[in-house]
Structure 1
Amino acid sequence: MNLTREEARARADILTVTSYDINLDLTRGDTVFGSRTVVKFEATQGASTFIDAVTKDVSRVTLNGVELDPSEVSDGIRIQLPQLAATNELVIDADMFYMNTGEGLHRFVDPVDNEVYLYTQFEVPDSRRVFPVFEQPDLKATFRFTVTAPSHWDVISNSPTPEPVAAGSADDDVATSTWSFEPTGVLSSYVTALIAGPYQSVRSELTSSDGRVIPLGVFARKSLMQHLDAENVFDLTRQGFTFFEEQFGTPYPFPKYDQLFVPEFNAGAMENAGAVTFVESYVFRSRVTDATVERRAITILHELAHMWFGDLVTMRWWNDLWLNESFAEFMSTLAAAEATEFKQSWTTFASLEKAWAYRQDQLPSTHPIVAEINDLEDVQVNFDGITYAKGASVLKQLVAWVGQDKFMEGVREYFGKHSWKNTELVDLLSELEKASGRDLTEWSALWLETAGVNTLRPELEVDDDGVITSFAVLQSAVADYPTIRPHRLAVGCYSLDDAGKLQRIDRVELDVDGERTDVPELVGRARPDLVLLNDDDLAYAKIRLDEVSLRTATRHLKDFNDSLPRTLVWASAWDAARDGETPARNYVELILQNIGAESDSSVVLVLLRQLATTLAFYVNPDDRTAMTIAAADSLWELAQRADAGSDSQLQFIKAFAGHAQTASHLDTIEAIFTGSETPEGLEIDADLRWELVTSLVAGGRFAQPDIDAELERDATATGQLAAAQAKAAIPTPEAKAEAWHSIVERSDMPNAAQRSAIAGFMRVHDPAVLAPFVDQYFAAAPDVWGSRTHEIAQQIIVGLYPSRLTTQETLDKSGAFLAALDAESTSLRRLILESQDGIVRALKAQAVDR
């Protein structure tokens, strides 16, 4: 199933692919579908190669009119192609499997009406599960899809949906039709798509910058349409179109733009050209936080940016995956801040994306942004915080350095030269160099080709009158990644005004380079109450506060007028706690004393997650239970003090439910659930009911009959997933053993159900209930990795790692497993190493938290 970079390079050297003509028969039952593919390509005459095809069986292979014996040339993964001509036509008839893993052609049955819904997910290497294909991004071609399916379905692909033609009846007497799509433009196979089923849609249109009318569609399952706020999606799409077409200087490249919310999706979304798929939880059937609404907006803009960066212009090989993802991540935040209502999106970026990047960049598996990708296994575990968030952070710093106008000028030239082609890093950098007049060779070497995150600290001296006599920025790096980098950043000076608010009174923007950079501009000025390095969050670096600034921040964190500097101080305190520099309990206290005044929903969301992590992993285990109970008490008080119906009220209630464990806590949760003690303004809708049920299950108050009763009330796909999580959260050895069996020992659980069950399994108040599964985990891991698809295996390996048992014994067992693991299992090794590092970090933090 793997493909090495050398194999891909060798194949690209001898092939030029022209077109695929793909005929799919979706009327043959619930297990397999028919796939007939005609591929036209040029080749070095006399050469041999292979085409990728993950099949149930292959019935026919014809190469240039010559029949090849399928049993001799096909092994179910690759089909060998001997003695190629200069111009070739390949015809393959095969049966392919429907998947329930979110890979290939995923099949889902809606429990509400028993309707079947299909969608494809091809990134990285899974178009080969639907049709034979030269599965690598640099062998672009056109794709023509012809699809036979039940007549009452809608069928969507990259090209506009044609009028179907009646095709008779299937074996079950269901009327069928055939949809014959026009060929696509020149695409990489991983951004082709097919979505089929009785999806319903809302339609609209917009006018592109070149005058074309672009049809728009928003799709969802029939049973979810009542919850679909399509107009909001259309509004964001129009704002994004206008912004990106202006910034990129290139009209939208495809004939239509559909956005489809599909069931059991593994990621947030996928940038299929003109047919973007989104996770279905973005259809809000219950009230969600403002942070979730903003997250959906950023995702919508992220995928739209990919239509240019990724789809129109595509990386040659997966080592430049960051060119796709980092650029889309940066541009989506920029678009949100400058073209939509989400003006605070850089605050969200600082709290969410950069925190992800810093965390990933301190793992033993950290890597340069331009990563070495030797094969498909490498790239499949590389959709990480480096590729997305660090890359976007570095791009933000580059924009600050060269100027946004010059940056976009270079981007416009890049699209002008490379549309419909494949590129490498040098192609983009050369255009940015020409536009900005800056040599980016050293910048690339230091920022894109080395790993690790630097830490910046202020060093200042003041005289007896409180006047600054010297000021410098000190930069350090860890021993394993000692690179000292240049940073474009700002130093912000904040002082308390007469109203007690922290106001910025001065700002100096400069280039920091080397281990020490003096800042003479601040000498001779009165010392402010707080000095903030990396003000406005231009640079990618961890920051620390000097003692005076730290005292001010601790007392007055809630008094910042703006959310971004407050978020940067939050981030500094979090980094110090995670790094074991300050006691974890101090961070818990800082959150609980200040979060009630936090106005940014995304920041509240992040802080509550960090509170949960700190309590579960970083506080001294001897005090963990008492501190968690006290935190739950504080969260309930915060919920009661929050404005009725506010976003914070909802978040505090959910967090309280997550930490509730005493009889008093569970009494309160049950009272909210039954409606006898519902806080004013709080609506107990379907999703919140499930959170309360799961809280009561994890606390031992509710059991399986209560879960069954709630599922009968909410007999939907979302209800089924929530019930699976609640069932796995039952805190008995028998329930945990049953959950383990269904996840690890069986292999028929769909991807979304497995994800929910894993979350429930790991939700425990007493980690000791998980102790019997530590040895079972390490015993099962190699077989899980070798026998399951990538997505399913990674869910299990990461999700069931015994991280809650933060002991030296767990660390020793993890080390023994890695020592015995064969050298070929590089991706499995990476995942275990990353999880093991969490225990190392937790033990270090616990030792400080005394």
Structure 2
Amino acid sequence: MKICYSFLSFFMLMTIGFSQSKQKEMPLLDNGVSEALAHFRKQQISNVTYGLSFEIPEQKQQDIVSNLILNLDLSDLSKPLYLDFKEKSSSIKSVEANGKNTPIVHENGHIVIPTQVLTLGKNTIAISFIAGNLSLNRNDDFLYTLLVPDRASTLFPCFDQPDLKATYKLSLTVPKDWSVLAGADVKEKAEKGNFTAYIFEESNKMSTYLFSFVAGKFKSITENPGLEMTMLYRENNPEKIQVSTDTIFKLHQQSLDFLEKYTNYKFPFQKLDFASIPFFQYGGMEHVGAIQYKESTLFLDNSATDSEKLDRAKLIAHETSHMWFGDLVTMKWFDDVWMKEVFANFMADKIMNPIFPKVNHNLQFLTAHYANAYAEDRSLGTHPIKQNLANLKDAGSLYGAIIYNKAPIMMRQLEASMGEAAFQKGIVKYIKKYANDNADWNNLVEILDAETPMDLQKWSKVWVNKSGRAIFINKVEYDAQNRIKKFEILQNAEDKSNNIWPQIFQIGLVYSDHVKAVDVNIKDKNLLLKEVIGFEKPLSIIYNYNGFGYGVFPLDGNTIESVLSLKDEVARASTYINIYENALIGNVAPIKAFDCFLKGIQQEQNELVLKIIANQTSSVFWKFLTKKQQTKVQKQLEDILYERLQTALPGNIKKTLFNLFSSVAYSDSAKAKLYQIWNKEIVIPNLKLNEDDYTSIAMNLAIFKHEKADEILNKTKASITNTDKQRRFEFLLPSLSKDESVRNAFIESLKDDKNREKESWVAVGLSNVHHPLRHESAQKYIRFSLDLVEEIQRTGDIFFPKDWLNNTVGKYSSKFAFDEVQRFLKENPNFSPILKRKLLQATDGLYRAQNIKKETE
């Protein structure tokens, strides 16, 4: 009745503001934020300040009473003022406009303020409301907001679009033993019985998705490595705290120093504080003044490998880079969300060079980006780097490996083509021109275009606006003296289109005593490489020798054997990746690729290269070998890994080998060894295992049906010292049970969205249930998982739909699973195109396995 009365009052009050027909108004009132609404509000609204207060109760089930004082300027009253609030209407308690009570009109997730209570120029809107819980991430003793990309409107009424930047005046009232962190410094603090009230300074300008606060039982530490910074954390392992804390602050400062120098622009915000969150949904999130990180990534102990330390440094550099790329200069619309991510990753890779001088950074770039980019770009669900976005409610679907991994590859190609100096000069101009504002890709291209003779519009047309990758072939002819007479490289688009990717890479001509690296700059469909004419016939030809090229490259007859003897670690890594990609497109039998990887495992000395080999070995073993082949090689794989663990090797190499061993040691003999390691009856020299490692071993032993599985799990639960990790393990226990009915109940419980709140926990639980060794009992839940995925998108954060699919149907390679997917798609012709793309990405291995296994059986 209240809503019906409000609508009646609303239409009785309307004059000029509603002279247009309802049909013309309705597009602005669609669910979410349409482009039409965003464009209108951008020209209507300016000078926005949000005054927000939240009263956080002691119990997470209690409502959070909240208030908004919104100050803004209006330049157009041809339409009402639309605020976004994707909560139930009953959560809106009152609305005032310029001191006048206004009927509550809440339609399709928008609060409508009528024009007759507004004025041209300055306006003040006051709204009392109950804060939405969807993005508050409430726990018993802490909470944190996570509002990217369009979740601010699930928390408070706002203009939830990136090009309406605003400042924030925040007040938080929290239980008195809680700490707080937000985008500005605390201005005032007052005790109020069992609570403490905090008033913060006015923040810098930012988009709504960058607003954040953290509150809860955290410990706090402040250091000044150059800029004073404060960190909130819950980690309680003394070794991890001692080993990690100074490094965490130092890495932030090193990143700041690099970025200030590279961009010629000082750190642009009031502060750079951060919070370490247990089981955070992402690696990190770049909130202005209050970055959030996944705690397990920040806090490492003495068992950490070089790769884990590098991953932490890159994460910190990535989020710090966002302060300039994303926070200071923000995309106009979320179709360019890839721009902030490409620069964050691209700059993070650059920042690593001086911080880790002993690391081969070309190798690091290759291992960080290529396999992940190929995994999506080779699938039927691939998409261009820049995607269309009609409504902000779908913005979460844009995220994935294409923007995080293919885009940096594109950007490195662009920098190499332009030259580093010209590229940096353009970036400096871009930051200066659009500081505290918004820009799109065309704005950047216009600036970069002035620094190079290249036709950047044409270049970016395929790299940015088209999907897919090149499949390269070669034509090499030799004369009677065994010298190269003709060397031609050709490229075709994998998707059979006419797309051509201009790019730079090297080929390596391998001789008995040296390798001749030759630069290739292919701009068209084919290239005659005149530089090698007259060269002696090499023992083998290694394509993409320097790892710069993007696509699938030819293998000559000796490539698989030659990779083992290549001294250049980038060339080895690139070749291993290329062998795997050739196996997936049918050019190499999976068992032959597996044998190659097995030899690599036996001799590889570089951790980053070994991680590539280990990942590809696991993938081929579980997905692309026939059951007969798998049975034949499984004991061999276990023995090779265990034997190499007994040799004198660096700890980081042993840790990489052990992680693979632990994941495949399901034969009786290997399982017995794994149990002895877990039970500390066997100690492998120089293999450092921490509490988390022992927990992972216990989980694997349970999945492998060790006879003492229940005892192992109970002892593991009792040994976990961190409260947050204990809760996680308790959540996962049903997914590890040997009782199928218990596992079934776990899966059924996920129908209720409250049981999916800890998304990273859910992903691990799904992976446990759908482990390849459990497919026979779990495959009945493939359709269950597919039927639920639209709700997963509606209630989950941006990466959860893909994680859900990866850890359910994405775990399979069987004909049964393939048929289930086909049946689901046939019975749901109107299935969301966005989610279908995610499904096709997650099931690329499943699709390919149908053809690969047919060919090998």
- Same-fold call, TM cutoff 0.5: yes
Q: Residue type of the partner of 1:660?
A: A
Report SS of the residue matched to 1:123.
Answer: coil
Q: Does 1:689 pair with 2:694?
A: yes
Report SS of the residue matched to 2:542.
Answer: strand
Question: Are the structure 2 counterparts of residues 837 and 441 from structure 1 closer, same or farther at C-alpha, using a change threshold of 3 Å?
Answer: same
Alignment partner for residue 137 of structure 1, among 154, 157, 162? Answer: 162
Q: Residue type of the partner of 1:198?
A: K
Q: Does 1:77 pair with 2:106?
A: no
Tell me which residue corresponds to 1:509: 519
Tell me which residue corresponds to 2:449: 433
Question: Are the structure 2 counterparts of residues 842 and 288 from structure 1 closer, same or farther at C-alpha, using a change threshold of 3 Å?
Answer: farther
TM-score normalised by length of structure 2: 0.90
Tell me if structure 2 keeps the 8 A contact 1:698–1:764: no
Structure 2: distance between partners of 1:218 and 1:496: 55
Tell me which residue corresponds to 1:391: 407
Report SS of the residue matched to 1:668.
Answer: helix
Question: Are the structure 2 counterparts of residues 450 and 795 from structure 1 closer, same or farther at C-alpha, using a change threshold of 3 Å?
Answer: closer
Deviation at 1:342, TM superposition (A): 5.9
Tell me which residue corresponds to 2:854: 847
Tell me if structure 2 keeps the 8 A contact 1:781–1:797: yes
Alignment partner for residue 151 of structure 1, among 158, 163, 176? Answer: 176
Structure 1: distance between partners of 2:806 and 2:508: 41
Deviation at 1:69, TM superposition (A): 3.0
Question: Are the structure 2 counterparts of residues 242 and 366 from structure 1 closer, same or farther at C-alpha, using a change threshold of 3 Å?
Answer: same
Tell me which residue corresponds to 2:93: 59
Q: Does 1:655 pair with 2:648?
A: no
Report SS of the residue matched to 1:436.
Answer: coil
Question: Are the structure 2 counterparts of residues 642 and 122 from structure 1 closer, same or farther at C-alpha, using a change threshold of 3 Å?
Answer: farther
Structure 2: distance between partners of 1:780 and 1:462: 59
Task: State, as a whole percentage, how many aligned pairs show the same letter.
Answer: 21
Q: Residue type of the partner of 2:801?
A: Q
Tell me if structure 1 keeps the 8 A contact 2:602–2:640: no
Tell me which residue corresponds to 1:241: 256
Tell me which residue corresponds to 1:534: 544
Q: Does 1:26 pair with 2:56?
A: yes
Question: Are the structure 2 counterparts of residues 706 and 490 from structure 1 closer, same or farther at C-alpha, using a change threshold of 3 Å?
Answer: closer
Alignment partner for residue 230 of structure 1, among 245, 262, 268? Answer: 245
Structure 2: distance between partners of 1:642 and 1:225: 30
Q: Residue type of the partner of 2:189?
A: V
Structure 2: distance between partners of 1:727 and 1:28: 30
Deviation at 1:480, TM superposition (A): 4.3
Tell me which residue corresponds to 2:127: 92
Report SS of the residue matched to 2:587.
Answer: coil
Q: Does 1:125 pair with 2:135?
A: no
Tell me which residue corresponds to 2:102: 68
Deviation at 1:218, TM superposition (A): 3.0
Q: Does 1:36 pair with 2:63?
A: no
Deviates more, 1:176-185 or 1:139-148: 176-185
Tell me which residue corresponds to 1:424: 440
Tell me which residue corresponds to 2:224: 205
Tell me if structure 2 keeps the 8 A contact 1:654–1:691: no
Q: Deviations over 1:577-611 (max 9, x none)?
A: 12222111112111111123323323322322221
Tell me if structure 1 keeps the 8 A contact 2:813–2:849: yes
Q: Residue type of the partner of 1:569?
A: T
Structure 2: distance between partners of 1:368 and 1:764: 32
Tell me if structure 1 keeps the 8 A contact 2:651–2:688: no
Q: Residue type of the partner of 2:199?
A: S
Alignment partner for residue 664 of structure 1, among 651, 669, 678? Answer: 669
Structure 1: distance between partners of 2:86 and 2:761: 24
Deviation at 1:619, TM superposition (A): 1.0
Deviation at 1:528, TM superposition (A): 3.0
Question: Are the structure 2 counterparts of residues 235 and 782 from structure 1 closer, same or farther at C-alpha, using a change threshold of 3 Å?
Answer: closer
Question: Are the structure 2 counterparts of residues 775 and 186 from structure 1 closer, same or farther at C-alpha, using a change threshold of 3 Å?
Answer: closer
Tell me which residue corresponds to 1:166: 190
Structure 1: distance between partners of 2:662 and 2:247: 31
Alignment partner for residue 429 of structure 2, among 413, 432, 436? Answer: 413
Tell me which residue corresponds to 2:228: 215
Structure 2: distance between partners of 1:703 and 1:81: 61
CA-based RMSD of the aligned residues comes to 2.4
Structure 2: distance between partners of 1:675 and 1:800: 31
In structure 1, list runs of 5 or more residues that go unmatched. 110-115, 208-213, 498-502
Question: Are the structure 2 counterparts of residues 347 and 796 from structure 1 closer, same or farther at C-alpha, using a change threshold of 3 Å?
Answer: closer
Deviation at 1:357, TM superposition (A): 0.9
Report SS of the residue matched to 1:603.
Answer: helix
Alignment partner for residue 560 of structure 1, among 566, 571, 595? Answer: 566
Q: Residue type of the partner of 1:67?
A: N
Question: Are the structure 2 counterparts of residues 16 and 791 from structure 1 closer, same or farther at C-alpha, using a change threshold of 3 Å?
Answer: same
Structure 2: distance between partners of 1:46 and 1:356: 48
Question: Are the structure 2 counterparts of residues 476 and 46 from structure 1 closer, same or farther at C-alpha, using a change threshold of 3 Å?
Answer: closer
Task: State how many pairs are aligned.
Answer: 814
Structure 2: distance between partners of 1:745 and 1:121: 21
Tell me if structure 2 keeps the 8 A contact 1:28–1:34: no
Q: Residue type of the partner of 1:66?
A: K
Structure 2: distance between partners of 1:745 and 1:273: 33
Alignment partner for residue 633 of structure 1, among 630, 634, 639? Answer: 639
Question: Are the structure 2 counterparts of residues 796 and 349 from structure 1 closer, same or farther at C-alpha, using a change threshold of 3 Å?
Answer: closer
Alignment partner for residue 737 of structure 1, among 735, 744, 760? Answer: 744
Tell me which residue corresponds to 1:178: 197
Q: Deviations over 1:475-518 (max 9, x none)?
A: 11124443012112233333333xxxxx43x3332420222201
Structure 1: distance between partners of 2:213 and 2:752: 32
Tell me if structure 2 keeps the 8 A contact 1:797–1:832: no
Q: Deviations over 1:724-768 (max 9, x none)?
A: 445413344223212212323564343133223112212242421
Structure 2: distance between partners of 1:223 and 1:77: 41
Question: Are the structure 2 counterparts of residues 270 and 46 from structure 1 closer, same or farther at C-alpha, using a change threshold of 3 Å?
Answer: same
Deviation at 1:237, TM superposition (A): 2.0
Report SS of the residue matched to 1:612.
Answer: helix
Deviation at 1:268, TM superposition (A): 0.8
Tell me if structure 2 keeps the 8 A contact 1:693–1:726: no
Q: Deviations over 1:662-719 (max 9, x none)?
A: 2112111111122222212334431121122112111211334431331112153224
Report SS of the residue matched to 2:138.
Answer: strand
Deviation at 1:785, TM superposition (A): 5.0
Question: Are the structure 2 counterparts of residues 446 and 89 from structure 1 closer, same or farther at C-alpha, using a change threshold of 3 Å?
Answer: same
Deviation at 1:456, TM superposition (A): 2.2
Structure 1: distance between partners of 2:684 and 2:392: 51
Tell me which residue corresponds to 1:113: none
Deviation at 1:277, TM superposition (A): 0.9
Structure 1: distance between partners of 2:732 and 2:159: 39
Tell me if structure 2 keeps the 8 A contact 1:159–1:183: yes
Tell me which residue corresponds to 2:814: 807
Q: Write the mapping of 1:375-390 to structure 2, written as runs, cut at 5 A.
A: 375-390=391-406
Deviates more, 1:323-332 or 1:25-34: 25-34
Structure 2: distance between partners of 1:222 and 1:508: 50
Structure 2: distance between partners of 1:705 and 1:89: 63
Deviation at 1:231, TM superposition (A): 1.5
Deviation at 1:574, TM superposition (A): 0.9
Q: Deviations over 1:292-344 (max 9, x none)?
A: 22111111111111110101000000111111111111111122124534632
Alignment partner for residue 48 of structure 1, among 80, 93, 97? Answer: 80
Tell me if structure 1 keeps the 8 A contact 2:381–2:840: yes
Structure 1: distance between partners of 2:139 and 2:738: 30
Deviates more, 1:80-89 or 1:360-369: 80-89
Tell me which residue corresponds to 1:500: none
Tell me which residue corresponds to 2:9: none
TM-score normalised by length of structure 1: 0.91
Report SS of the residue matched to 1:91.
Answer: strand
Tell me if structure 1 keeps the 8 A contact 2:766–2:808: no
Structure 2: distance between partners of 1:745 and 1:222: 30
Tell me which residue corresponds to 1:728: 735
Report SS of the residue matched to 1:308.
Answer: coil
Structure 2: distance between partners of 1:757 and 1:802: 14
Structure 2: distance between partners of 1:336 and 1:496: 34
Alignment partner for residue 817 of structure 1, among 812, 824, 830? Answer: 824
Tell me if structure 2 keeps the 8 A contact 1:323–1:425: yes
Alignment partner for residue 269 of structure 1, among 275, 284, 287? Answer: 284
Tell me if structure 2 keeps the 8 A contact 1:639–1:652: yes
